[in-house]
């Protein structure tokens, strides 16, 4: 019996091979796309879940209010908060600081660039990074202890046992000796913490100077609560702690009229669950990822799957007239409805199973391209783990039941007597078919609008003037092995007589995301009279304004002729002068970090960081205690590649063992928006797939509809109808559905994109023509799809059409 059903299913699928091919292609693409997108979303949601006590670990955040009443959150903590919390709250089981740092590592004459993070000893027992060698209880007892990862052990020591072996780290412009006391497993790819080595946070250059200061912060803090502790109760109890140690700051804010935060206090401490840190885009220095991005992946996958299922349902119902006759005959011969349902649904199962295997094959084949485009980390093992296989199997059964269940029920419900008498009419389009066509084109229009708006926003961010000339400027990371000032002087000497080089300077902060994948920001808050000032504190060197194309508005630039410029002078931006309330601030003094600086000049405003956030006022200074991290070289635009070769050669004479990873600033600023570029790629790809699948479904429905109206078309042609008349007649019903889809999709797309744009300080206004363009594209594509079959039918000989009927 089963073999008989299988033969009938194969014959039926072959008989309608055009529609079978459309269904298989549509479902295969949908299955493959969904598997990739769902696995990526699952990976993002799995961040930090591998820690055994993840639900008891929290990151600390401060919550205050800005002067305008908006929330001001920050994760940067002062040194003394960690020991104070551990001493005053018995519910706290462990506390660790975390410094995101890099350093050069030297052993046996070889130097390696590694991510050396600074933490406290509690880190080793709070987080689940298993030790391969050494004792986690004693591995960080000494300031000279260093714990390394398996990868670093292999890179630096090879097959040699690293325990007890010496290493040197370049910290604070000096080489310092460390002893390897432990080897940890490599951090998984879904870990917030990424490291090659760990040392004590007490090794920080400013630790001794600031270890008792509550008004100076430069690191994150994580705490682990004892089992059974309610985090919300503890968070409420920390309010008295905050008011005790930040009394002066709270008093100053009250005097200046700052509003209270959403909890009703001037300043509060928040406990952010560890698993939420990955999704925090506000206080993770650009490293977090929005949950909206992950949900977008899931929605896009569901949309594409929905379109493929809609195509399948529509095609099956459209073919129901021919299957109705078959069902009528089988019922008259004694077949029960359950048997008929099983047979027809079995055909669906066979088709879906074929599509699933093809889709999985497509997903695996496109894995390298997918990982590159979306910066994912998927591998074959992700496909083969138990949870993925189980989810895929259950999802497949659900889709097969939904896509095949209703059509099978619809076909088997026909009355056998009515069918055999020829009284069953299913050729006219029904509400369900039209609703499904509207649904799939609504999704397609929605994705088209989103694609256009995302691309517009990216173009706007890339083209918006930043207040500096980022073109033709090369940024060279100094690295941890060299002294920035010494390297800058050497580069100036070597490039001094080069005609392709127009200016050389240095900075503590890169513009954009450089090839070293490093970022740094120093922000100071201080009082100027009764004004509360917050500004970016930027280390630069002479010729910075010339190199970066920044205009001097008042006063003078830094110069080697003034010895005080390297110790007590600052330049400020126009927005900072406005914040100070000074029309001519030159000669005035400011006191950030309890030290007096004289303003010697005012420069035009420029964006130091990405346009996701409003630019802060900037103070530019030349203090030698803040190192030069990047050498900036402006080159002649007539010979960019020649100038780059000259810079590389000069760098090799300065740092022969260090890789040259210089990059142009305009390329760096484009990398600021790589998340938006990924989103644009998602929407573009999804819109293309959605349009393709929708058109395939519309093509098949139009083909079936025209086949069912062959006699009508022949009669109309005999009575004088022209080919354009017939094309319009056949197409208009479908185009009406597309218009309805546009009307439904437009407000949804407007709301979704407005919500997305709210994350940008600088953004476009959504124009009406975007929706008109998306509508015209959808209508044009639908018309071309339908008219192909319409013209073919209109050109048919009416005599042949009427005779065949």
Q: Considering the chain, what percentage of its residues have pLDDT values greater than 70?
A: 87
Angle formed at CA 21 by CA 16 and CA 27, multiple of 5 degrees:
125
Q: Domain check: are 31 and 116 in the same one?
A: no
| Mean pLDDT calculated for residue range 118-126 | 94
pLDDT tops 90 at residue 600: yes
Residue that finishes a domain, picked among 671, 703, 736? 671
- pLDDT in the model for residue 225: 95
Residue that finishes a domain, picked among 245, 277, 309? 277
Instruction: Tell whether 230 is covered by a domain.
Output: yes
Helix count and strand count (H, E) for the chain: 27, 25
Instruction: Tell whether 596 is covered by a domain.
Output: yes
Ramachandran region, residue 293 (left: φ > 0; alpha: ψ -120 to 50; beta: rest): alpha
Bridge partners, 197 (sequence order): 116, 148
Range scoring the smallest mean pLDDT among 60-74, 154-168, 316-330: 316-330
Where does residue 139 rank: exposed (0-12), middle (13-18), buried (19+ CB within 10 A)? buried
Using pLDDT thresholds of 50, 70 and 90, give the confidence band for residue 403.
low
Q: Domain check: are 622 and 660 in the same one?
A: yes
Q: In terms of pLDDT, which residue wins out, 555 or 681?
A: 555
Q: In terms of pLDDT, which residue wins out, 144 or 728?
A: 144
Q: Domain check: are 314 and 243 in the same one?
A: no
CB 519 within 8 A of CB 510: yes
pLDDT tops 60 at residue 640: yes
Give CA–CA dist 467/498, Å, rounded.
Answer: 27
Give CA–CA dist 718/348, Å, rounded.
Answer: 41
Instruction: Tell whether 62 is covered by a domain.
Output: yes
Using pLDDT thresholds of 50, 70 and 90, give the confidence band for residue 183.
very high
pLDDT tops 90 at residue 281: no
3-state secondary structure at position 95: strand
pLDDT tops 50 at residue 427: no
Using pLDDT thresholds of 50, 70 and 90, give the confidence band for residue 794.
low
Q: Domain check: are 43 and 59 in the same one?
A: no
Torsion over CA: 293, 298, 303, 305 (sign)? positive
Instruction: Tell whether 459 is covered by a domain.
Output: no
Q: Residue 336: CB partners within 8 Å, gap ≥ 6?
A: none
- pLDDT in the model for residue 131: 92
3-state secondary structure at position 718: helix
Q: What is the pLDDT of residues 544-581, one digit of tens each?
A: 999 999 999 999 999 988 888 888 899 999 999 998 99
- What domain range includes position 536? 473-671
Give CA–CA dist 683/676, Å, rounded.
Answer: 10
pLDDT tops 90 at residue 224: yes
Q: Domain check: are 243 and 314 in the same one?
A: no
Using pLDDT thresholds of 50, 70 and 90, give the confidence band for residue 154.
very high
Give CA–CA dist 327/532, Å, rounded.
Answer: 81
Using pLDDT thresholds of 50, 70 and 90, give the confidence band for residue 801.
low
Give CA–CA dist 18/353, Å, rounded.
Answer: 18
Q: Considering the chain, what percentage of its residues have pLDDT values greater than 90?
A: 26
pLDDT tops 50 at residue 47: yes
- pLDDT in the model for residue 805: 46
Q: Domain check: are 243 and 291 in the same one?
A: no
Q: Domain check: are 298 and 220 in the same one?
A: no
Closest CA to 461 of 749, 687, 671, 682: 671
Neighbours of 191 (CB within 10 A): 18
Residue 56 Cα distances to 51, 185, 275, 425, angstroms: 10, 22, 10, 64
pLDDT tops 90 at residue 217: no
Give CA–CA dist 76/522, Å, rounded.
Answer: 11
- pLDDT in the model for residue 199: 94
| Mean pLDDT calculated for residue range 182-206 | 90
Q: Domain check: are 511 and 417 in the same one?
A: no
Instruction: Tell whether 124 is covered by a domain.
Output: yes
Locate 41 and state its tokens.
């979303």
- pLDDT in the model for residue 10: 62
Neighbours of 530 (CB within 10 A): 10
- pLDDT in the model for residue 27: 82
Range scoring the smallest mean pLDDT among 315-329, 522-536, 617-631, 777-791: 315-329
pLDDT tops 60 at residue 509: yes
Bridge partners, 633 (sequence order): 474, 504
Residue that finishes a domain, picked among 400, 426, 452? 426
Instruction: Tell whether 321 is covered by a domain.
Output: yes
Instruction: Tell whether 385 is covered by a domain.
Output: yes
Q: Domain check: are 608 and 484 in the same one?
A: yes
- pLDDT in the model for residue 803: 58
- pLDDT in the model for residue 802: 58
Reported for 704-707, long-range contacts at CB under 8 A and 24+ positions apart, including other chains, are 704/19, 704/315, 704/318, 704/319, 705/318, 705/429, 705/730, 706/730, 706/789, 706/790, 706/792, 706/793
Place of tokens 């392709």: 500
Q: Domain check: are 565 and 647 in the same one?
A: yes
The total domain count for the chain is 3
Return mean pLDDT, the chain.
83
pLDDT tops 60 at residue 428: no
Instruction: Tell whether 145 is covered by a domain.
Output: yes
- pLDDT in the model for residue 301: 84
Q: Domain check: are 166 and 267 in the same one?
A: yes
Q: What is the pLDDT of residues 521-538, one digit of tens each?
A: 788 878 888 788 888 899
pLDDT tops 70 at residue 413: no
Neighbours of 427 (CB within 10 A): 13
Q: How far apart are the first and last CA of the chain?
A: 36
Q: What is the pLDDT of residues 716-764, one digit of tens each?
A: 777 777 777 777 777 787 888 888 989 999 999 999 888 888 878 788 8
Q: Domain check: are 652 and 554 in the same one?
A: yes
């Amino acid at each position: 019996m089963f073999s008989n059903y299988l033969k009938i299913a194969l014959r039926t699928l072959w008989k309608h091979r055009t529609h079978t091919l459309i269904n298989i292609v549509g479902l295969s693409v949908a299955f493959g796309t969904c598997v990739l997108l769902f696995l990526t979303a699952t990976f993002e949601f799995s961040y930090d879940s591998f820690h055994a006590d993840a639900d008891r670990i929290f990151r600390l955040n401060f919550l205050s209010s800005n002067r305008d009443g908006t929330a001001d959150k920050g994760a940067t903590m002062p040194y003394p908060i960690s020991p104070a919390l551990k001493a005053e709250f018995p519910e706290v089981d462990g506390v660790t600081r975390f410094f995101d740092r890099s350093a050069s590592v030297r052993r046996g004459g070889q130097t390696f660039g590694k991510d050396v993070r600074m933490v406290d000893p509690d880190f080793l027992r709070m987080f689940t990074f298993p030790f391969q060698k050494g004792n986690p209880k004693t591995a960080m007892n000494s300031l000279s202890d260093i714990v390394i990862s398996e990868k670093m052990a292999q890179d630096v020591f090879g097959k040699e046992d690293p325990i007890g072996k010496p290493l040197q780290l370049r910290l604070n412009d000096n080489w310092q000796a460390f002893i390897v006391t432990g080897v940890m497993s490599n951090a998984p790819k879904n870990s917030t913490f990424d490291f090659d080595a760990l040392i004590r946070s007490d090794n920080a250059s400013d630790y001794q100077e600031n270890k008792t200061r509550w008004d100076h912060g430069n690191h994150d803090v994580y705490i682990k609560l004892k089992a059974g502790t309610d985090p919300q109760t503890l968070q409420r109890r920390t309010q008295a702690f905050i008011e005790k140690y930040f009394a002066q700051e709270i008093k100053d804010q009250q005097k200046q009229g700052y509003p209270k935060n959403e909890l009703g206090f001037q300043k509060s401490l928040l406990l952010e669950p560890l698993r939420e840190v990955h999704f925090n885009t506000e206080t993770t220095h650009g490293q977090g990822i929005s949950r909206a991005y992950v949900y977008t992946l899931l929605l896009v996958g569901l949309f594409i799957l929905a379109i493929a299922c809609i195509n399948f349902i529509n095609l099956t119902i459209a073919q129901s007239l021919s299957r109705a006759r078959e069902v009528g005959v089988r019922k008259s011969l004694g077949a029960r409805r359950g048997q008929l349902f099983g047979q027809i649904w079995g055909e669906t199962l066979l088709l879906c199973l074929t599509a699933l295997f093809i889709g999985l094959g497509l997903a695996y084949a496109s894995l390298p391209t997918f990982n590159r485009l979306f910066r994912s980390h998927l591998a074959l093992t992700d496909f083969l783990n138990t949870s993925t296989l189980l989810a895929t199997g259950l999802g497949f059964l659900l889709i097969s039941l939904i896509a095949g269940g209703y059509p099978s029920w619809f076909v088997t419900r026909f009355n056998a007597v009515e069918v055999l008498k020829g009284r069953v009419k299913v050729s006219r389009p029904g509400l369900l078919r039209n609703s499904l066509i509207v649904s799939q084109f609504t999704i397609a229009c929605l994705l088209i609008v989103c694609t256009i708006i995302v691309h517009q926003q990216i173009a706007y961010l890339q083209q918006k003037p930043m207040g500096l000339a980022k073109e033709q400027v090369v940024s060279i990371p100094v690295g941890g092995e060299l002294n920035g000032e010494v390297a800058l002087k050497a580069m100036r000497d070597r490039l001094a007589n080069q005609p392709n080089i127009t200016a050389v300077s240095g900075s503590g902060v890169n513009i954009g995301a450089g090839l070293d994948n490093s970022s740094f920001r120093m922000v100071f808050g201080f009082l100027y009279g009764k004004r509360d000032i917050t500004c970016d504190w930027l280390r630069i060197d002479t010729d910075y304004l010339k190199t970066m194309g920044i205009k001097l508005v008042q006063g003078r630039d830094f110069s080697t002729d003034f010895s005080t410029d390297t110790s007590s002078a600052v330049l400020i931006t126009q927005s900072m002068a406005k914040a100070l309330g000074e029309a001519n601030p030159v000669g005035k003094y400011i006191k950030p970090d309890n030290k007096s600086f004289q303003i010697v000049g005012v420069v035009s405003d420029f964006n130091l960081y990405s346009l996701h956030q409003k630019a802060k006022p900037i103070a530019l200074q030349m203090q030698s205690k803040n190192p030069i991290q990047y050498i900036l070289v402006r080159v002649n635009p007539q010979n960019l590649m020649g100038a780059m070769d000259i810079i590389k050669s000069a760098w090799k004479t300065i740092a022969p063992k260090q890789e040259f990873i210089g990059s142009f600033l305009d390329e760096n600023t484009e990398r600021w928006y790589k998340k938006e570029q990924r989103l644009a790629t998602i929407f573009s790809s999804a819109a293309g797939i959605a349009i393709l699948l929708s058109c395939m479904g519309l093509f098949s429905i139009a083909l079936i509809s025209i086949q069912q109206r062959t006699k009508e078309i022949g009669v109309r042609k005999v009575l004088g109808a022209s080919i354009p008349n017939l094309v319009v007649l056949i197409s208009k019903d479908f185009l009406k559905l597309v218009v309805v889809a546009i009307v439904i999709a437009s407000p949804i797309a407007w709301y979704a994109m407005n919500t997305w744009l709210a994350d940008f300080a600088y953004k476009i206004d959504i124009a009406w023509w975007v929706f008109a363009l998306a509508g015209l594209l959808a209508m044009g594509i639908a018309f071309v799809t339908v008219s192909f079959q319409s013209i073919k039918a209109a050109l048919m000989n009416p005599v042949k059409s009427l005779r065949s009927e």
